[in-house]
Structure 1
Amino acid sequence: ATHTWQPQLDHRNSALLPFKVLATETLSEKALDADVYNAVATEKVDGTCCYVTNYKGQPYLWARLDRKPNKQADKRFKKFLHSKENAKEFHWNTEEDFKPVPECWIPAKEIEKQNGKPVPDENGHIPGWVPVEKNSKQYCWHSSVVSYEFGIALVLRHHPDDPGVLEISAVPLSELLEQTLELIGTNINGNPYGLGSKKYPLHFLTPHGAFQVRNLPTLKHNDLLSWFEGCREGQIEGIVWHCGDGCLIKVHRHHLGLCWPLPDTYMNSKPVIINMNLDKYDCAFDHQSLFNKFSKIDKQKFDRLKDITLDI
């Protein structure tokens, strides 16, 4: 589960009562129990969550799709939230209360289950995944970063020999099995990193936890606030602490009353090299595919991600 840094949070549905999540001076019990002081701090990347697991006998990219309540169940749930002081627990009927999802839909692994059935989260949603089919119209940007024919994905991460340099490469999907990743790019979440253009959109996957945060300040409210405001490394959306027990603790700039997106992000302060290594695949990609376009600028180095253009 993902927990926010001790938020002052009204847990009622935001559709009923808008609220603002703010970090306080105190670490949450959940963070302390997860031993956050010894956790690995990583950059929270702003995109849409994806997952890689097997489908049709091969590794596939899956898009996030939460199963949500139907109108009748949602109405009952909102009524319960209004009168929460007088009710102990809301009871869901997982067979009847939720909108249909594709047969290929699977629930997320980490969600709670009762009698073998997934339990909705505090918002009444059941997080899950659907496979991204080749040339999918609904998930076209997801589809653009994978080639099932050759079993590869377009991935952004640190260069293996130089953590100060980013690398865009074609990675076997088999190496990403059972990992979650973030899809970022031109048409995702308002494109906070300024990638590509409307005419030449650019997208790629970033594994969760790929960008470790260095020189992190002490875990105190004012120190974190100063780090986000005044440190070059702090020009990021947020921090996710990966704890030893698998728990994820996160804090977003908004939790500290700070703005996002920013005109100049830390991700765009690093040089980036294209390292596709497609020779071993003997690939013949579609002319308009990202893999084909990146193959034409293979081994090139750019001062920052914003400088990459695919008008080839």
Structure 2
Amino acid sequence: MRRLGSVQQKVPCVFLTDVREEASRKRERQQFQVVATEKVNPVALAANVDCALATEKLDGTCCYVTLHHDQLHLWARFDRKPNKQAEKRFKKHQHTHNSCKGFSWNVEEDFKSVPEAWIPAHRVKHLDGRPVPDEHGHIPGWVPVERSNKQYCWHSSVVDYEVGEALVLKPCCDDDDDTLEITAVPLADLQEQTLELIGTNVNGNPYGLGSKQQPVHCLVPHGRLQIRNPPAVNFQQLCSWFQESPEGRVEGIVWHCNDGTLVKIHRHHLGLRWPDGEPGLASRPVVIRLDRTADAYSSSQGLLASLLPLNGRRFGRLRDVQCEL
């Protein structure tokens, strides 16, 4: 399988979008809604989106695996955002000009501070050696996940730095059906990849993983959950697919184009609810596959050690794993 695009920055919609002055279905307290028009985005057309690989867009939080102090680490998404005064000026400019273009930032004064170990995402533009914000007023970036940082405790639960492995959800290699597997993957195999952290305490847990008493989280490499019979990149066909197809019980689609371009569609772009019933991922069968012995995870404080007693067990639905921990 070819190496898929890394989600380092905001992925554009496969259609051109419009902004409506109505409450957002996706974000609380946001008094505008970004909706798709029926015109395909020129970026998607230039990347030949009709020949792209269609994959499931997951409802979680983005992560990244790369080096930190010469050791592979999981990194959490941390966008540098403007302070209140700068954000107020930015929104005023947007309202006056109906556009983000032409706004001038002072990166040193207009933005909140970031942790010392923060790094900007790939392809962030720089001016005079300093990263500059994107059209939305953010500077996408990452911070390393350390076990001592309680803010990222759910990220920490899926990685064991001593063993050098992470807990990953992916399709089974030896099955032709919809079976998934939860397995330990060496961080070296995930280096420079982005993944989605999903689970009990992420984005309202639409997939029904775990419980408050026994939280369950895992990483899903971006692009691994392929859509077998994707609809054409057509507004009406996509609307029908999301509402009528069993495969359409997903948050959205991300297309991985051959030149590395990524484009997406979210249900909210089409005026559709999410979640709407049980997501397809939650109802897929899953098997636990951990090859290590109990001694290997003896010092682990995360899920790798907790799931080891379930090694080899098969569950009828992904969300059923919570009942056995």
Q: CA deviation at 1:262?
A: 2.8
Equivalent of 1:181, from 195, 214, 226?
Answer: 195
Mapped partners of 1:56, 1:114: distance in 2 = 26
2:117 matched residue in structure 1: 104
Larger mean Cα displacement after TM superposition, 98-107 or 84-93: 84-93
Cα distance, 1:286 vs structure 2: 4.5
- In 2, distance between residues paired with 1:104 and 1:49? 18
The separation in 2 between residues aligned to 1:235 and 1:48, in whole angstroms, is: 19
8 Å CA contact retained: 2:20, 2:35: no
Pair 288,55 (structure 1): closer, same or farther in 2 beyond 3 Å: closer
Counterpart check, 1:258 vs 2:272: yes
Q: CA deviation at 1:239?
A: 0.2
**Structure 1 stretch 301-310 or stretch 284-293: which is displaced more?**
284-293
Given residue 242 of structure 1, which amino acid in structure 2 is its aligned partner? H
SS in 1 for 2:39: coil
- Cα 1:72–1:277 change in 2 (3 A) is same
Q: Which moved more, 1:47-56 or 1:111-120?
A: 111-120
Which residue does 1:228 correspond to in 2? 242
* 2:156 is the alignment partner of 1:143: yes
1:90 corresponds to which residue? 103
Structure 1 6/190 Cα, relative in aligned 2: closer, same or farther at 3 Å?
same
CA contact (8 A) 2:101 2:135 kept: no
Map residues 63-78 of structure 1 onto 2, 5 A cutoff: 63-78=76-91
Q: Deviation of residue 290 (structure 1)?
A: 0.9
Offset of 1:155 from its aligned partner?
0.3
Q: Which residues of structure 1 form unaligned runs of 5+?
A: none
Q: What TM-score do you get using the length of structure 2 for normalisation?
A: 0.89
Q: Secondary structure at the match of 1:83?
A: helix
Identify the residue that residue 241 of structure 1 maps to in structure 2: 255
Q: Which amino acid aligns with 1:208?
A: H
CA contact (8 A) 1:7 1:21 kept: no
* 3-state DSSP of counterpart to 1:3: coil
Residue from 280, 294, 308 that aligns with 2:307? 294
Q: How far apart, in 2, do the equivalents of 1:287 and 1:233 lie?
A: 37
Residue from 286, 289, 292 that aligns with 1:272: 286
8 Å CA contact retained: 1:152, 1:171: yes
Structure 2: tracts of 5 or more residues without a match? 1-8
Root mean square deviation of aligned Cα = 2.3
Query: What is residue 8 of structure 1 aligned with on the other side?
Result: 17
State the partner residue of 1:154: 167
Q: Cα gap change, 1:138/1:202 in structure 2, threshold over 3 Å: closer, same or farther?
A: same
The change in CA–CA distance for 1:235 and 1:126 in structure 2 (over 3 A counts) is: same
Percent identical residues: 54
